[in-house]
Structure formats: structure tokens, C-alpha cells
Amino acid sequence: MSVSDLRLFEMRRPADLPDVCAVLAERVSRSEPTVLLAGGTDWLVEQETRPAFAKEAALPLVLDVSRLPALRGITLDGDRLRIGAAATYLDMRRDPAVLARAPMLERMGRDIGAIQIQARGTLGGNLATASPAADGVTALAAYDATLVVHSVRGERRIPFASLQTAYKRSTRAADEVIVAVEIDLPPAGSPWIWRKVGTRRAQSISKVALAGVAVREGDRLTRLGLGMASVAPVTALLSRVRTLATSRPLRDLTAADIDAAVDADVSPIDDIRSTRDYRAHCARSVVRAFLRDLGAPV
């Protein structure tokens, strides 16, 4: 599907966030399909690849939310970073607050396709699609981010840990608009990792990707956030690895214990991009590498 094909769809540009919520609530109540369009980097591809019979169904109303001020902007208030759902990956890569306090997001943003995709793609779009292979969502998982959503019922906050329920399914209601993500940042200079394993560093979907942030005090971790892509039906939070690594001194972590925790946290599959065994091997390797950098003798 090309941009010119958008003329086939009814499109509107809502005046503000309350307008979006009102239109969405009305259409959801009538079971009428609606798409919120910001960058369109996922949705346009989906229209091209959907089955022929689906193309004969009623076309959705497309609401262009890319320019709504309520969904844009990046702000830092103390240690809390707020990123608008329609802020692009290029916005994040260039933002002084992100560069200073959340460098893992800037590093991840380099690997989101080519510069054209970075200039259009958004965190809000990645979250709405809910793909377990989404690099941006993986980074948010590591930061234990919170989603801010709005509807005609008001504002609601969803911790990332309770967001994804199944493959491309989430606890966000059909009439809720993702407005922003909020991150309680670790202290400046805290260690982090972004590692993407793929056919190419960018312009390819991850075979496995690991995002991690940590806070270390002496030989112990007081905070460890992890997210891993393409190893489960949802973004993997690696909860067993988190518990293991924060429950004992780093010097007491063993490769065998780490590998066992990773294996318990992931359930990779064979697909066109990779094999189950290779994904499991990569998952163990990148987690061990991060914990080794933090001081574990593995």
C-alpha cells in the first residue's frame, strides 16, 4: 500500500484530545472500525499484507493524531521522563533530556529501521501494535514504563508489567488513546545495555533484542529492569532473571543459574527469521554479557 492509497479511506484530523476520545467512544459503541494514525509505519504495511478477503471488509475511519500537541513533546521533571505517544524515534534521538538521562533510548532509536522510519515511527504506534518483536516496546519494558491513556471516562495509567496479555493483545481498552509514556529514571550514569541480534543492526526485525538498566550499590543490584524481544508471545520481562540477580551478591551469580532463569523466562519459536534454539542461545548469551559487565563472574 502506498501513501496515495490513503485516499480510499475516510480521514479526519481531530481538533484536540477530547475530540479524539469522543469520536473513538462513539465508533466503538457502534462496533465501527477506527485507526489512530501517527507515523503509520506498521499500519501501512499491514494493509498491504492482509488477506484479500479482509480487503473487501468495511474500511476503517482513519484519525490523524500525528500533530496533536497532547500527544507530542518530551519533558523531564526531576527524575520522571515523559514522552508523548506521537513523538518520533528521531525526536528521541535528538532530545537533550533523553541523551543525558536515558541514553539507552537513543541507542535503541538508531536501530529502528532507516532514518525515514525513525522520522515517522512512534512509541505510541509500537505500543498500540503490541508486537513482541518491537524494539521500542522492549526498551520501555526495561525502564518499567507507565502508559498514560485517555478516554471519555478520563485518564488512566497502566504499568507496563500489566499491559500485554497475549500476542498483540493488551489491557488498553478499545476506546482509550495512548497519550504518553512515563519513566522513573535511574540515577544519571547508571549502567544499561541495548543489544539487537538480527540479520542487520537496523532495517531488520530482531531475532532477539535485549534492553536493560541497572542500579548497583557495591556488589549488589538494587534495581534491574529488563525487556527482551522476539522470544515469547509478549515482550519478555525476564522476571526470574530480575529476581535472581537482585537476590544475591553479583559475585555469587553463576552462569548455570543465569541460564536456567533465562530458559524459564522465554519461550521462543521457529519462524522465518530464526530458530527456537538460536534464539534461546542468544537470549542466554546477551543476559550473561550484561550481568558480567555489571560484575558477575560469568
Indicate whether 98 and 165 sit together in one domain: yes
Residues 146 and 203 both lie in one domain? no
Tens digit of each residue's pLDDT, the chain (298 residues) = 555 566 778 899 999 999 999 999 999 999 999 999 988 777 776 666 665 545 546 788 999 999 999 999 999 999 999 999 999 999 999 999 999 999 999 999 999 888 888 998 999 999 998 899 999 999 999 999 999 999 999 999 999 999 999 999 999 999 999 999 999 999 999 999 999 998 766 567 889 999 999 999 999 999 999 999 999 999 999 999 999 999 999 999 999 999 999 999 999 999 988 999 999 999 999 999 999 999 999 9
Same domain, yes or no: 74 and 91: yes
- CA 220 remoteness from chain centre: 28
> Which of 30, 47, 64 marks a domain boundary?
64
Q: Which amino acid is at 106?
A: E
Last residue of a domain, one of 139, 168, 184: 184
Q: Alpha helix locations (H) across the chain?
A: 17-29, 43-49, 52-55, 89-94, 96-101, 103-110, 115-120, 123-129, 135-142, 239-247, 255-265, 276-294
- Decide: helix, strand or coil at residue 263: helix
DSSP-based helix, strand, coil % in the chain, nearest 5:
40, 25, 35
State whether 217 and 287 are in the same domain. Answer: yes
* Same domain, yes or no: 174 and 198: no
Q: Which of 64, 82, 114 is the last residue of a domain?
A: 64
Burial zone of 123 (CB within 10 Å; 0-12 exposed, 13-18 middle, 19+ buried): buried
CATH number of the CATH domain containing 151: 3.30.465.10
What is the residue whose three cell numbers read 484530545?
17
Indicate if 172 and 94 belong to the same structural domain: yes
CA distance 42 to 214: 31
Taking phi first (over 0 means left), then psi (-120 to 50 degrees means alpha), and beta for anything else, what does residue 168 get?
Answer: left
Q: Are residues 223 and 240 in the same domain?
A: yes
List the domain range (segments joined by +) for residue 168. Answer: 69-184
287 and 233 within one domain: yes
Q: How are beta strands 146-151 and 80-84 bridged, if at all?
A: unpaired
Looking at the structure, tell me whether residues 40 and 80 fall in a common domain: no
Q: What is the pTM of this model?
A: 0.91
Which CATH number characterizes residue 237's domain?
A: 3.30.390.50
Distance CA 81, CA 18 (A): 24
Residues 154 and 242 in one domain: no
Count up the domains in the chain and report the number.
3
Q: Do 118 and 180 sit in the same domain of this protein? A: yes
DSSP state of 268: -
CA pair distance 80, 83, nearest whole angstrom: 10
Give the pLDDT confidence score for residue 53 in this predicted structure. Answer: 47
3-state secondary structure of 155: strand
